Amino acid sequence: MTGRGPLPASATGLEQAPLDPVEVDAESARRYADLGVDRLLVYPLPLESESGVAAFLERHASLIR
């Protein structure tokens, strides 16, 4: 089909490239990008405290390019 952009897709448990879907570091983000992933959605589960969620988001904020 012409005129269509990329299709949204979700993936978990990428068996060909075992990656931790909970904690993403710069190397893991690069590996996802190498697989063609252009957007990662991080979700701070099972964190329950506000300080835990804030720390999670701070760790992952540096991955934004």
Q: What is the pLDDT of residue 2?
A: 57
Number of domains in the chain: 1
Within a domain: residue 37?
Answer: yes
Within a domain: residue 18?
Answer: no
Within a domain: residue 30?
Answer: yes
pLDDT digits (tens, 9 = 90+) for 23-41: 788 888 888 888 888 888 8
Within a domain: residue 7?
Answer: no
Q: Other C-beta atoms within 10 Å of 53: how many?
A: 14
pLDDT digits (tens, 9 = 90+) for 1-14: 556 776 666 655 54
Within a domain: residue 9?
Answer: no
Euclidean distance between CA atoms 31 and 33, whole angstroms: 5
Within a domain: residue 31?
Answer: yes
Euclidean distance between CA atoms 53 and 3, whole angstroms: 40
Cis peptide before 44 (omega within 30 of 0): no
Within a domain: residue 51?
Answer: yes
- Quick one: tokens of 17? 């490239």
Within a domain: residue 16?
Answer: no
Q: Which domain holds residue 31?
A: 26-61
